[in-house]
Structure 1
Amino acid sequence: MAKGKKQPKRILIVGGGYVGLYTALGLQRKLRSLEASVTVVDPQPHMTYQPFLPEAAAGSIEPRHVVVPLRKVLRRCHVLTGRVTKIDHGSRTATVEAIDGHRDEIEYDVLISALGSVSRVLPIPGLPEQGIGFKTVGEAIYLRNHVLSRLDLAASTDDADLRRKLLTFLVIGGGYAGVEALAELEDMARYAIRYYNTISANDMRWVLVEATGRIMPEVSAKMGVYTVKVLEKRGIEVFLDTRVKTLEGGHIVLDDGTEFDTDTVIWTAGVKANPILQQTDLPLDERGRVRCTAELQVVGLEDAWAAGDCAGVPDLSRIEEDPTATCSPSAQHAVRQAKRLVPNVLASLRGRPPKPYFHKYAGSVASLGLYKGVSDVLGVLRLKGFLAWLLHRGYHLSRMPTFNRKVRIMFDWLGAFAFRREVISMGQIQDPKTEFTRAAKS
């Protein structure tokens, strides 16, 4: 090595979600030769586009098509499948636990925290045992098979109480994830139940419980009220300003006195910053997120950046009304922060000042099942029904990473339109050794 030759910077991206993937994609395209190397670490070998999980669960999209394989698209990056358990930015090292359990220390020069968020689980009795999350493609597949298998079990039993329990479905949390998961799964179950002779759609009970006074706070209050009316018209029960007291044994008790039994509890009641951040020397805010400047730099640290759900970034669009306002943990901010993060990191590497992240709320779109939706664009254009559903699909298709996945999803939609959606329960996936174990014992 020639004396004085500048060494490439080692960039470590912790997290392979939307922010991590798009940041790595941008860097591998724009970094100059030998300017820097990029390493991406994530427990999963793929990125999941979460807004499409409800459609994947309902059978409108093949689950494999809502994930993007990291190694396939990040060919100029080094991808490690493992979990970061500790970050010591003072010594520029990160501890990574690999799949087989062994741990390695990775040295870096520049850190990008894209750890995202995890489900915020409350201390409700029975929740860990009964609840099912809705943040991963695995959970989406599980829920699809689970809901359809409840129909199979209900159709084969003569026990009226058991049938009622099997056909009762509870969703806790009235944000985007909860409402879309509920609407898509109910739509799928309503379509599937026509093929059963002993049960009908009227036997199903779908319940949504939200602790605040409205659902989907991302849209206007008027659109939130409209969404509740649409759900109730479909026979879905919506409980607002209501909390769950216990879920033990599948027996649900709400704080308004309502009680019922269910075999399906879907938990979508909020998220929290990845708890791995507690094992770092990065400055955290009261919500456990990394404290950042408007330029997405970690406050008080050099060569450290963060974006997405794990970052407490000042919201410059609301700075006049609330100087302490930070960006909410939403896909909308994650998408745009990733775009700002790439040029800022490059500017820092090249000795130029980074630019602040500024994004004003542009609107929201939500699906309420096949051909149904709501949208609120710039607070002016409010659409309902089919047009809103089309806008929802078009927007998220445009945000889906890679041309490959966009095309595959479009073909999924065309196939579902021409031949209707598949309503097959593949319950063997949940326990694939059952039949082999039975054969071995016979």
Structure 2
Amino acid sequence: MANGKSEPTRILILGGGYVGLYAALGLQRKLRSGEASVTVVDPQPHMTYLPFLPEAAAGAIEPRHVVVPLRRALKRCHVITARTTAIEHARKVVTVEAPDGHTEELGYDVLVVALGSVARLLPIPGLVEQGIAFKTIGEAIYLRNHVMTKLDEADSTLDPELRKRLLTFTFVGGGFAGIEALGELEDMARFATQYYKNVEPEDLRFVLVEAAGRVLPEVRESLGVYTVMQLEKRGIEVYLSTLAKSFEGGHVQLSDGTEFDSDTIVWTAGVKSSPVLGNSDLPLTKQGRLRATAAMQVEGLPDVWTAGDCAAVPDLARTGEDPTAICAPNAQNAVRQARLLAKNIVASLRGGKPKDYYHKNIGSVASLGLHKGVGDVMNFKAKGFVAWAMHRAYHVKAMPTFNRKVRITLDWLTGGLFRREVISMGQINDPKAEFARVSKG
């Protein structure tokens, strides 16, 4: 074997997201029998395809269909449901914490760090108490039920000020996650008003707050301007070059002096590398990402590999003009890096040389709601229905496993025939509340 041992090389993958799943899928296809064992560690038993979260939140896709069960997809791998808490490469061990609270150490010969990113929080009063993040399927389901519950409450209340607060929905962050979540949920909420006697579409107030001077930095500026124009045509208020100052008690204060009350504050203002890396002996950048080579090996450690949001992989397409350029933390890079990462690991095990990752940007597409979108693909600007269709086609192609591709396509076909479901299932957010009420007599 490549490690000089009689037993298979132990490959340990930390994280079951884009990089973890795609790398493990590649390894289980390419490795020979007995050549290596692959173990994947993640606190969730599934991988979430994040670009579909907005449609799952808006009822266009069944939430279970945007997640891929790790054990079902990785039949030749060992999947451990646990949270990584520390990495000690000097001893080649990783400490993990199981759901029941106990910790244990896992040894390895080859390590793949694919821990991804977490929401980047800022010291804004009230953010932790009032904010709703949008990075997991649980948060998407919660947000959908939360929005529908606010419509139910607004339909019943006699207090006009409370009604305004209930029907004010604030989104902070104008990147892909924020724009797509805003577009889909605004579309859903306006569609749902037809079923409420006391709520009209014009009663809804949607607000977007972005610190930069434009939205969707991944597409050309003209398309960012077009996106803002389309949102404003729908009555959505867009505040650019504006900071959020406070969310205390649901009272929103912006840096330009604007103030209003909102019962819904969605936080999508950026991400940061997994904080677990700070509890490791691996080399990090100032931003907390792993220092990596273009071949996705951690600098100075040929048996440690990394990719995705937690990795500072040089962007060879831009290093000519900027030697410090690194690949952006997005799904397109993560998926492509993971596929090459699996090939590189296999090549390394067999004495070969790993290949460098070169990102050729094919463009970006974003959904702005049903039949609405914006795209910048291969120098082709797309708007409206065409961009929306491109968005769906690209992401269903990128969705892991044939099973999920078919289920999502059927969800779309069913939604086209019978329209989306607009049901409030707020009990999911506090399932024991009714049981507790009954127990008190």
TM-score, normalisation: structure 1: 0.98
Report the residue type matching 1:440 in the other structure: S
Superposed, which structure 2 residues align to 1:94-113 within 5 Å? 94-113=94-113
CA distance in 2, matches of 1:247, 1:431: 23
Residue aligned with 2:327, SS: coil
Superposed, which structure 2 residues align to 1:155-166 within 5 Å? 155-166=155-166
Percent of matched pairs sharing the same residue: 67
Say if 2:403 is the partner of 1:401.
no
State the 1:5 CA deviation. Answer: 6.2
Q: Which runs of 5+ in 1 are unaligned?
A: none
Say if 2:17 is the partner of 1:56.
no
Report the residue type matching 1:80 in the other structure: I
CA distance in 1, matches of 2:424, 2:433: 16
- The corresponding residue for 2:426 is 427
Residue aligned with 2:212, SS: coil
- The corresponding residue for 2:435 is 436
- The corresponding residue for 1:146 is 146
Superposed, which structure 2 residues align to 1:270-289 within 5 Å? 270-289=270-289
State the 1:210 CA deviation. Answer: 0.2
- The corresponding residue for 1:38 is 38
State the 1:225 CA deviation. Answer: 0.2
State the 1:358 CA deviation. Answer: 0.2
Residue aligned with 2:135, SS: coil
- The corresponding residue for 1:388 is 387
State the 1:278 CA deviation. Answer: 0.4
CA distance in 1, matches of 2:159, 2:361: 51
Residue aligned with 2:369, SS: coil
CA distance in 2, matches of 1:147, 1:304: 43
- The corresponding residue for 2:239 is 239
CA distance in 1, matches of 2:381, 2:147: 32
- The corresponding residue for 1:339 is 339
Report the residue type matching 1:438 in the other structure: R
- The corresponding residue for 1:317 is 317
Q: What's the RMSD between the two structures over aligned residues?
A: 0.8
Q: Which runs of 5+ in 2 are unaligned?
A: none
Say if 2:237 is the partner of 1:229.
no
Deviation digits for residues 156-190 of structure 1 (CA, Å, limit 9, x no counterpart): 01101000000000000000000000000000000
Report the residue type matching 2:393 in the other structure: G
Count of residue correspondences: 438
Report the residue type matching 2:156 in the other structure: S
Report the residue type matching 1:212 in the other structure: A
Residue aligned with 2:305, SS: strand
Superposed, which structure 2 residues align to 1:61-72 within 5 Å? 61-72=61-72
- The corresponding residue for 2:120 is 120
Residue aligned with 2:32, SS: coil
CA distance in 2, matches of 1:133, 1:438: 29
Report the residue type matching 1:215 in the other structure: V
State the 1:436 CA deviation. Answer: 1.4
- The corresponding residue for 2:411 is 412
State the 1:6 CA deviation. Answer: 2.2
TM-score, normalisation: structure 2: 0.99
Report the residue type matching 1:66 in the other structure: V
Residue aligned with 1:7, SS: coil
Report the residue type matching 2:118 in the other structure: V
State the 1:302 CA deviation. Answer: 2.6
Deviation digits for residues 117-145 of structure 1 (CA, Å, limit 9, x no counterpart): 00000000000000000000000000000
CA distance in 2, matches of 1:128, 1:434: 23
Residue aligned with 1:216, SS: coil
- The corresponding residue for 2:79 is 79
- The corresponding residue for 2:349 is 349
Deviation digits for residues 53-111 of structure 1 (CA, Å, limit 9, x no counterpart): 00000000000000000011111111000001001111100001000000010010000
